[in-house]
């Protein structure tokens, strides 16, 4: 009996709820149709998201009467939908609406908690266009503090609020039903409370004011403050910007950075106040790292937590960043490359052979052998065929000086001495030999003058620089490589290029930029960053070098750094750079517009030039310093090397003669120290 009564009461309550919903539906239907008509004026694709209670509220014939070109999607929400595990059909439909470019959403769900869960899921997965047009039923549960971020991203929204007003007439209490249209206040004046604003009333079958209800809230922000998180990174933000926002110095002649200047212009045109701040520990965290419980640090952490509307920090336009924040239109591209050590080739020990190339030396040696051979042949020919036919007096006169070339080793020695412009002990009297020697002197003068001129140029020429300009050269160099960005390391590891993968496998994460540059200057490291940061680091080294302007530095211990700093010519990647905004930020369309305009008119290029001016000046001071052609002791190493080689060969020859005398001559049975002339004559040795 009790069970039957309970079932009867449940049926009555359900019937009452359905009847009440139908009654409310009938009252809301003209309001919804009027608002859908207004939305259709802005959009060509509308998504209707309804629950069973309000599913019959939408009249398809009325919608198609508004516009025959209007696309429509229906998504049915169930009371027991779990958005932690959403239904596949719902997800597929949302993906289709996103692909179709739908930007209008009519969400009619009686349960405010269900509505909030749907918005949290679809916004977090980026399945809806948060910058589109939204129509919802008003519910206090939609404005809980944990949902504040939703209404900081979805601002083109109208809430249909239905409530009762009580009036007292003649002592009687009269209930008057009222339907208002509300929207959210943007920008919000607090960080956790959502404020709604009345915009219109449905009265007597029409809207009281009838004005446009979807007006732009981002074009003019009426001087409200927006928080801007700053990470100082060249060329986006410089250290000079601190004076501007920390000390309120309006006029600063120093460059503030491209992104800082962009925000200043955007703040002026969109009429908001930029409240700059540096997040805690930003110098170490930089862009940020993933922490525990899905938390994030650094710049990205500020945007994810909703603490910042803008983030400035030279953000790369990558999918990794787009997963957490919105990025504006790209205003610049940066060359990401390596800062490498630049060594100087110390080839002073080759000084004696540097004036001529290899083929020239081969020609000189061949000419020397040819000249020595011809001198030897002429001397033998004269000795054997000319002198015997002369008288004894003429023969004795003609042979004077010819004996210098009658042995081949002597011929080579004297021909070589003439090449070095050393005069002969005696000039041969034979005219054939004199004519040949005369022309050999002419050749010797030309060769020696050329050698000396080239030697002078070699001594005054700066040392040749050995640089690393490609990834292949960097891989073969065996230098340690690294940078501060985890995304940079991941880029190399996931690359299809073999050299990039090798670099990624040994890529070190380093947070100390100055320490990394010191390692580069010591010739043990290659630092990965954008080319502007690397140029600034190199210019800083030049500036710290003192008045000599040389690209070197000295440590406190007095030890001189061995290597100059060189920026690798090959760019690993040309990376687009953009401003960072909060995820699904409603500011993005207007920010993109102004970023493009300032890029097109050349302001970005001008600001970039201002940021890099100091680096250019420091580099130009080094490049314009005249080279001094001084010959120091290091450049004379070649002379000492030649002297050392000569001493070594002389000692080796002396040792060889001693060994030959001891083990060959003394052991010869014909050797007689009292009759050496007979011994050498018999063995055809000449003293």
pLDDT of residue 3: 44
Residue 215: phi, psi to the nearest 5?
-105, 155
What is the C-alpha separation between 548 and 567, in angstroms, rounded? 21
Q: Are 420 and 452 in contact (CB under 8 A)?
A: no
pLDDT tens for each residue of 633-665: 666 777 777 788 888 998 998 999 899 888 888
Which residues, 6+ apart, have CB-to-CB distance to 115 below 8 Å?
A: 107, 109, 136, 137, 139, 142
pLDDT at residue 294 tops 90: no
Which residues, 6+ apart, have CB-to-CB distance to 9 below 8 Å?
A: none
pLDDT at residue 25 tops 90: no
Band of the pLDDT at 556, cuts 50, 70, 90? very low
pLDDT at residue 557 tops 50: no
What is the C-alpha separation between 363 and 375, in angstroms, rounded? 18
Q: pLDDT > 90: what percent of the chain?
A: 40
**Token code pair at residue 428:** 């041969």
DSSP track, 495-508 = -S-HHHHHHHHTEE
Q: Are 583 and 303 in contact (CB under 8 A)?
A: yes
Residue 226: phi, psi to the nearest 5?
-125, 140
DSSP track, 243-286 = HHHTS--S---S---HHHHHHHHHHHHHT-EEEEEPPTTHHHHT
What is the C-alpha separation between 73 and 89, in angstroms, rounded? 12
Give the residue from 461, 464, 466, 465 showing the smallest Cα distance to 631: 461
> Checking DSSP bridges between strand 104-108 and strand 133-137, what pairing results, if any?
parallel
Question: Diameter of the chain by CA atoms?
Answer: 169
Q: What is the mean pLDDT of residues 540-546?
A: 77
Q: Where in the chain is the domain with CATH 3.40.50.2300?
A: 18-207
Domain covering 18-207: architecture? 3-Layer(aba) Sandwich (3.40)
Q: Are 131 and 102 in contact (CB under 8 A)?
A: no
**Token code pair at residue 152:** 């900081």
- For the ranges 2-6, 228-232, 443-447, 490-494, the lowest mean pLDDT is seen at 2-6
pLDDT of residue 634: 66
Band of the pLDDT at 175, cuts 50, 70, 90? low
Give the residue from 160, 102, 108 showing the smallest Cα distance to 131: 102
Residue linked to tokens 């033998």 = 380
What is the C-alpha separation between 593 and 586, in angstroms, rounded? 13
Q: Report the SS3 class of residue 176.
A: strand
State how far Cα 622 lies from the chain centre: 25
Q: What is the mean pLDDT of residues 327-346?
A: 89
State how far Cα 180 lies from the chain centre: 53
pLDDT at residue 592 tops 90: yes
pLDDT of residue 686: 44
Give the residue from 71, 73, 90 showing the smallest Cα distance to 81: 90
pLDDT of residue 395: 58
DSSP track, 392-454 = HHHHHHHTTTGGGGSSHHHHHHHHHHHHTTPPPSS--S-HHHHHHHHHHHHHHHHHHHHHHHH
Which residues, 6+ apart, have CB-to-CB distance to 381 below 8 Å?
A: none
Start-to-end CA distance of the chain, whole Å, equals: 148
Which residues, 6+ apart, have CB-to-CB distance to 666 below 8 Å?
A: none
Which residues, 6+ apart, have CB-to-CB distance to 531 below 8 Å?
A: 334, 335, 336, 337, 567, 571
DSSP state of 628: P
Band of the pLDDT at 291, cuts 50, 70, 90? confident
Helical ranges in 75-204 per DSSP H: 88-100, 112-124
Q: What is the mean pLDDT of residues 162-177?
A: 63
Give the residue from 278, 314, 186, 196 showing the smallest Cα distance to 578: 314
pLDDT of residue 623: 64
pLDDT of residue 549: 44
pLDDT at residue 687 tops 50: no
Band of the pLDDT at 248, cuts 50, 70, 90? low
pLDDT tens for each residue of 40-86: 888 889 999 999 888 877 776 666 666 667 888 999 999 888 888 88
Give the residue from 310, 355, 352, 574 showing the smallest Cα distance to 453: 355
| H or E segment and range at residue 203 | strand 196-203
**Token code pair at residue 229:** 């998180």
């Amino acid at each position: 009996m009790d069970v039957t009564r309970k079932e009867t009461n449940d049926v009555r309550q359900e019937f009452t709820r359905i009847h009440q919903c139908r009654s409310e539906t009938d009252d809301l239907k003209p309001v919804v149709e009027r608002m859908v008509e207004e939305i259709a004026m802005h959009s060509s694709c509308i998504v209707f998201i309804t629950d069973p209670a309000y599913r019959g509220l939408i009249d398809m014939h009325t919608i198609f009467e508004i516009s025959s070109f209007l696309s429509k999607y229906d998504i049915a929400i169930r009371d027991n939908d779990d958005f932690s595990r959403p239904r596949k059909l719902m997800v597929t439909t949302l993906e289709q609406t996103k692909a179709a470019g739908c930007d209008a959403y009519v969400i009619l769900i009686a349960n405010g908690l269900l509505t909030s869960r749907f918005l949290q899921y679809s916004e977090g997965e980026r399945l809806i266009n948060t910058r589109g047009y939204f129509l919802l039923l008003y519910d206090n549960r939609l404005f809980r503090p944990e949902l504040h971020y939703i209404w900081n991203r979805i601002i083109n929204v109208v809430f249909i609020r239905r409530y009762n007003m009580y009036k007292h007439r003649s002592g009687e209490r009269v209930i008057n039903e009222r339907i208002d249209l509300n929207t959210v206040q943007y920008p919000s004046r607090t960080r956790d409370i959502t404020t709604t604003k009345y915009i219109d009333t449905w009265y007597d079958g029409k809207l009281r004011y009838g004005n446009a209800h979807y007006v732009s809230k981002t074009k003019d922000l009426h001087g409200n403050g927006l928080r801007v998180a700053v990470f100082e990174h060249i060329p986006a933000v410089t250290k000079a910007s601190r004076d501007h926002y920390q000390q309120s110095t309006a006029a600063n002649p120093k460059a503030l950075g491209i992104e800082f200047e962009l925000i200043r212009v955007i703040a002026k045109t969109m009429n908001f106040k930029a409240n700059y701040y540096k997040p805690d520990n930003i110098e170490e965290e930089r862009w940020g790292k993933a922490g525990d419980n899905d938390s994030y640090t650094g710049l990205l952490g500020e945007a994810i937590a909703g603490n910042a509307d803008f983030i400035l920090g030279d953000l790369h336009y990558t999918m990794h960043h787009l997963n957490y924040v919105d990025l504006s239109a790209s205003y610049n591209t940066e060359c990401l490359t390596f800062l490498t050590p630049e060594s100087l080739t110390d080839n002073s020990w080759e000084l004696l052979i540097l004036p001529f190339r290899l083929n020239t030396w081969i020609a000189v040696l061949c000419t020397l052998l040819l000249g020595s051979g011809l001198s030897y042949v002429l001397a033998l020919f004269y000795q054997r065929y000319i002198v015997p036919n002369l008288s004894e007096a003429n023969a004795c006169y003609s042979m004077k000086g010819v004996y210098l070339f009658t042995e081949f080793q002597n011929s080579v020695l004297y021909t070589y001495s003439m090449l070095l412009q050393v005069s002969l002990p005696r000039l041969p009297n034979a005219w054939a030999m004199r004519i040949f020697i005369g022309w050999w002197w002419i050749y010797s003068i030309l060769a020696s003058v050329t050698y000396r001129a080239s030697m002078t140029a070699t001594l005054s020429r700066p040392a040749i620089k050995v640089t690393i300009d490609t990834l292949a050269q960097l891989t073969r160099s065996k230098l340690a490589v690294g940078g501060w960005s985890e995304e940079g390391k991941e880029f190399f590891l996931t690359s299809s290029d073999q050299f990039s993968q090798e670099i990624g496998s040994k890529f070190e994460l380093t947070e100390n930029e100055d320490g990394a540059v010191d390692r580069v200057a010591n010739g043990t490291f290659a630092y990965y960053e954008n080319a502007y940061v690397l140029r600034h680091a190199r210019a800083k080294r030049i500036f710290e070098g003192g008045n000599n302007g040389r690209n070197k530095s000295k440590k406190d211990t007095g030890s001189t750094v061995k290597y100059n700093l060189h920026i690798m010519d090959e760019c690993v990647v040309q990376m687009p750079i953009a401003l960072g905004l909060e995820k699904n930020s409603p500011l993005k369309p207007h920010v993109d517009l102004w970023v493009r305009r300032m890029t097109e008119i050349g302001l970005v290029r001008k600001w970039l030039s201002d940021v890099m001016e100091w680096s250019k000046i420091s580099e130009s001071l080094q490049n314009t310093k005249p080279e001094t052609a001084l010959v120091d002791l290091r450049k004379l190493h070649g002379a000492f090397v030649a002297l050392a080689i000569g001493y070594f060969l002389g000692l080796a020859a002396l040792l060889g003669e001693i060994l030959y005398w001891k083990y060959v001559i003394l052991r010869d049975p014909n050797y007689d120290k009292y009759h050496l002339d007979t011994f050498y004559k018999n063995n055809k040795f000449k003293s």
